[in-house]
Amino acid sequence: MGWVASITGPVNPSTRRWLLWGALVVLIAGLLTILVWLAGRYETSQWQDRLDRDAVDAVSDVRTGLTRNVQALQALQAINLLKPDVWVSDAAGLLCAHREVLHLEWRDKSLAVLAAVDSPFRTPVFDRFGRSGSLPDVQLACANARRISGASYSTSYFLPQSDGLGLEVMDMCLPVSAAGNLAGYVIATYSLQEILAELVGRQLSRSQDVSFTEADGARLAFHGVARRGSRVFTSRQLLDLPGFTLVLRIDSWRGAPDFFPNLLTAIVTAMTLALVGVLVLLARDTRRRLRAEDGLADALAFRKAMEDSLVTGLRARDLQGRITYVNPAFAQMVGFTAQELQGTGTPAPYWPPELADEYQQRQAIRLAGNAPPRDGFESVFMHKDGSRFPVLIIEAPLINAVGKQTGWMSAFLDIREQRRVEELSRASQDRLQATARLATVGEMASLLSHELNQPLAAISSYATGSMNLLQDGPPAKADLELAMRRIAEQAERAGKVIKSVHDFVRRRDQAREALSPQALLDAIMPLVNLQARKLFVRVVTWLEDDLPQVTCDRTMVEQVLLNLARNAMQAMDQPGIRDKTLVIQVKRAASSERTSHTSGWLEFSVADVGPGISAEVANKLFTPFFTTKLEGMGLGLSLCRTVVEQHGGFLGFEANYPQGTVFRFTLPVA
């Protein structure tokens, strides 16, 4: 303390000692004051942090409760889509379990009310002023819900009640789909105060009050006990709902700590120990810090190695659409370096110029906050050398530690190889179908030769008779015309048989066209009749009146009909079956939830009176290469199902009464 002596001049040892003690007392008093002040600040920060966590938990509770309500409404609507009376009963039960919902409405696509139910816990909220005043909010919410294909919320509004008070409420609109099409909406009216009472955890409102406020601080709804204490801790969290954002505010009862907090004794004791152990603590802290830094460096290196080894491209963008990060896989995918891509906005250098406008619109929608589908979407990128390639993009929002979105993270998969494999698989399927057609015609070769022998023999006989008439002298004109006409008829008959086989076998690209059911049957009947005459089978066809055309690949559908007919006739080629009858029917199919074609369906059925199909065979009937025939390939029914499903239809079978089997399949109406 030489500076004390230099200021005060020469002093005796006693004075110097007092000065030293005084300086020590002042130093300790200052340290104690600072420590007490820091202790108070620490206690304050602890309460504030705890309150912030409670606010986050409350927002999570409310969001989770609203999500569960949406799921319950979706389940309610899925079960009672076409039953308003049952819907009213089930909706009343749902309102009994959810006090926060005051009113439920089922509306059609034009927002006309189909059914409505009020909460049993209070008088109907719209009895006094009706629903017309809040209808514009409902329309906006439903328009937004239709755009995002999910639940959307309206802004809150005040609803006066008959008791002289009122409620702050908001509406939730949920679109209802039937067979992939919009069928209507479910409107749920929520009470903001009941949301706080029912969805926020009970333990949060015992020691503090919870409220919804607007951005300017105006309180909309309140739950809990009035404020206490000289100062109240406050925390605010955003409840971001689709279409509407609220501020959830929590006020704690506890006031600011006194000048001497409860931690004072612990602080004084810690000061005494700290004078001795400060160096030890600093050494430990230094070693711990070094270990933490080494661990962090290892973790960063490990993450970098993982990102560099990925074959999936990764790209991060900020909220303005500028690229902030790309991994090596993405840079290699598009041919640009990470430095060339860093900081670039729109249009991106890897966008094809002809698609830049479309991508720009999609980018604007994404930056506006609309979340992309979680299963991804396909797009086309351009390599630096100008080549195009398809990619699968999966995007998700980037959320920081405080729950705020800072940008978008995208994952990219190069699907060129996948497309090549799909093309090879499609080509293999086409070749397999052509092989099956050739095998079918090969089995029918003997029948064709037998059938062609008859018209050819008749042509030969009429030609010989005509030559004899010419040799015997000038023939009668009527006899010669009759002979020539018979020759032409038999030649046309042989040509139809050959043409039907040629059209059936000929390999060509799949081209769907609108055809009448009668045209499909006419194309296969010559081949069906060939085998029917050999197996002594009577063929009956029946078509419903005024049937529309169907959209199909003619060759493939003819193959399906021919395979089913041949299988049916072969099933009836059994001893003991007398009246062998093959029945081919075409009629309008009944409406089914199995398909979503809005124009309707036609049902084709092929019925036989054979021995039927056992349960063991039925489980494997459509398995490729499974067959009950000695010389069968086991591909016919498998290919038939593939063809029908490619047309969007369904192929199945059932027992025929009193015996036999009926195969049915559907095709879409043109």
What is the tens place of the pLDDT at every residue in 379-397? 778 787 888 788 878 777 7
Domain assignment present for residue 531? The answer is yes
Cβ burial 275-287 (10 Å sphere, 16+ → b, else e): eeeeeeeeeeeee
Output the pLDDT for position 491: 78
Structural domain tally of the chain? Answer: 5
User: Which residues neighbour 546 within 8 Å (Cβ) at sequence distance 6 or greater?
Assistant: none
How many Cβ atoms are within 10 Å of 522's Cβ, its own excluded?
Answer: 13
Highest mean pLDDT among 77-81, 308-312, 457-461, 512-516 belongs to 512-516
| 225/285 same-domain check | no
End position of a domain, from candidates 360, 381, 414: 414
Crossing angle of helices 13-79 and 264-309, in 10° steps, is: 50
Mean pLDDT, residues 501-512 = 58
pLDDT for residue 6: 45
408 and 420 part of one domain: no
Averaged pLDDT, 284-292: 79
Last residue of a domain, which of 492, 507, 522? Answer: 507
Nearest CA to 73 among 198, 190, 168, 221?
190
2 against 441, higher pLDDT: 441
Q: In this predicted structure, what is the pLDDT of residue 180?
A: 75
Residues 142 and 175: beta-carbon distance below 8 Å: yes
pLDDT tens-digit series, residues 186-235: 999 999 888 888 888 777 766 678 888 887 878 888 887 665 555 567 88
pLDDT computed for residue 662 by the predictor: 93
Q: Are residues 135 and 229 in the same domain?
A: yes
Assess whether 95 and 238 both reside in one domain. Answer: yes
Q: What is the rounded average pLDDT of the residues 443-466?
A: 63
Give the residue from 25, 36, 534, 2 showing the smallest Cα distance to 265. Answer: 36
Residue 27 within any structural domain of the chain? no
Among the listed ranges 343-352, 454-463, 600-609, 636-645, which one has the minimum average pLDDT value? 454-463
Residue 25's pLDDT is: 63
Range with lowest mean pLDDT among 420-429, 497-506, 620-629: 497-506
Residue 124 counted as domain residue: yes
Enclosing domain of residue 593? 509-670
E strand or H helix that includes residue 562: helix 554-571
Average pLDDT over residues 397-404: 80
Q: What is the mean pLDDT of residues 106-130?
A: 85
The structure's pTM equals 0.39
Same domain, 459 and 430: yes
Measure the CA–CA gap between 649 and 600, rounded to whole angstroms: 11
Report pLDDT for 268.
61
> Hey, what are 265's tokens?
């004794």
Distance CA 551, CA 352 (A): 35
Q: Is the pLDDT of residue 499 over 70?
A: no
For residue 25, being part of any structural domain is answered with: no
Mean pLDDT of 114-126: 86
| Cα 372 from Cα 539, distance rounded (Å) | 56
Average pLDDT over residues 143-148: 90
Rounding to the nearest 10 degrees, give the CA dihedral for residues 258, 263, 264, 270. -160
Per residue, what are the HEC states of 48-117? HHHHHHHHHHHHHHHHHHHHHHHHHHHHHHHHCCCCHHHHHHHHHHHHHHCCCEEEEEEECCCCCEEEEE
Does residue 546 lie within any of the structural domains? yes
Give me the mean pLDDT over the 403-423 stretch.
Answer: 78
Residues 136 and 247 in one domain: yes
Q: How far apart are CA 61 and CA 63, in angstroms?
A: 6
Are the C-beta atoms of 546 and 502 separated by less than 8 Å? Answer: no
Three-state DSSP state, 291: helix
453: domain CATH number is 1.10.287
Q: Tell me if 524 is assigned to some domain.
A: yes
How large is the C-alpha radius of gyration of the chain?
A: 42
- Verify that 495 and 602 share a domain, yes or no: no
Higher confidence at residue 1 or residue 116?
116
What pLDDT does 164 receive? 66
Residues 189 and 74 in one domain: yes
Q: Are residues 484 and 574 in the same domain?
A: no
Can you tell me which residue has the tokens 């063991």?
616
According to the model, what pLDDT value does residue 401 have?
77
Question: Amino acid letter at 589?
Answer: A
pLDDT in tens, 293-321: 888 888 877 777 777 666 777 887 887 77
Among 408-412, 499-503, 536-540, name the one with the lowest average pLDDT.
Answer: 499-503
Please tell me which of 39-48, 103-112, 304-313, 617-626 the model is most confident about, judged by mean pLDDT: 103-112
Of the pLDDT bands very low, low, confident and very high (cuts 50, 70, 90), residue 424 is: confident
CA distances from 340 to 53, 115, 389, 543 (A): 42, 59, 20, 67
For the cut 70, the answer to whether the pLDDT of residue 264 exceeds it is no
Question: Is the pLDDT higher at 509 or at 244?
Answer: 244
Average pLDDT over residues 538-553: 90
Assess whether 244 and 342 both reside in one domain: no
38 in a structural domain = no
Judge whether 219 and 213 are in contact, CB under 8 Å. yes
Are the CB atoms for 666 and 660 separated by under 8 Å? no
pLDDT value at residue 211: 87
Return the CATH number at 529: 3.30.565.10
Q: Are 126 and 167 in contact (CB under 8 A)?
A: no
For residue 643, pLDDT beyond 70: yes
Q: What is the pLDDT of residue 262?
A: 54
What CATH number is attached to the domain comprising 221? Answer: 3.30.450.20
Question: Poorest-confidence range of 280-294, 542-556, 601-615, 642-656?
Answer: 280-294
Query: What sign does the CA torsion over 472, 473, 478, 480 have?
Result: positive
The verdict on residue 36 lying in a domain is: no
Domain boundary among 387, 414, 441: 414
Considering the chain, what percentage of its residues have pLDDT values greater than 90?
Answer: 8
pLDDT band for position 7 (cuts 50, 70, 90): very low
* Residues 58 and 143 placed together within one structural domain of the fold: yes
8 Å CB contact between 537 and 572: yes
For residue 485, the cross-strand partners are none
655 shares a domain with 554 = yes
Kind and range of the H or E run holding 396: strand 388-399
